[in-house]
Amino acid sequence: MTLIADSIIIQGMERLYTLLEAADALRLSENTTRRHIKTGRLRARKIGKVWRVTQSALDELTTGDEADANDEADARRTLAETRPDEFIAWDAAKAALDAAPKAS
C-alpha cells in the first residue's frame, strides 16, 4: 500500500479520496460534500472514523444527466420539507418589501 497525502492507493484498486479531497475535487465545501454523502447523492464508505470516496463515485456525481436529476429531486425534497408557516412568513416579508416606499 502506498500512502499519498491522506489518499490511499492500493494496487489494482481505484483511488480513495478523503472527505476534504473529494470536496476540493468537486469544488464544494466539506459540509456540502458531507450532505451529499448523507443524502446518498455521493457514494462513500466510512473506514474507521474517516469518510472515503472513490474516483468513480466522484465521476457519477459530476455526470450531467444524473447531477441534473439529483438537483431536481433535491429541490422537490426541500420544497416538500418546507413548513407552511415558512411560506406564510416569506409571503408577509415580500408583501412588506413591496409596500415599502422605494428609495430614490
pLDDT at 15: 87
Along the chain (104 residues), what's the average pLDDT of each consecutive run of 10 residues? Answer: 50 82 94 91 90 90 64 64 60 72 64
Q: Which three cell numbers stand for residue 18?
A: 478523503
Structure confidence at residue 91 (pLDDT)? 67
> According to the model, what pLDDT value does residue 29 have?
93
In this structure, the number of other CB atoms found within 10 A of the CB of residue 92 comes to: 10
Contact 52, 7 (CB under 8 A): no
CATH number for the domain running over 2-98: 1.10.1660
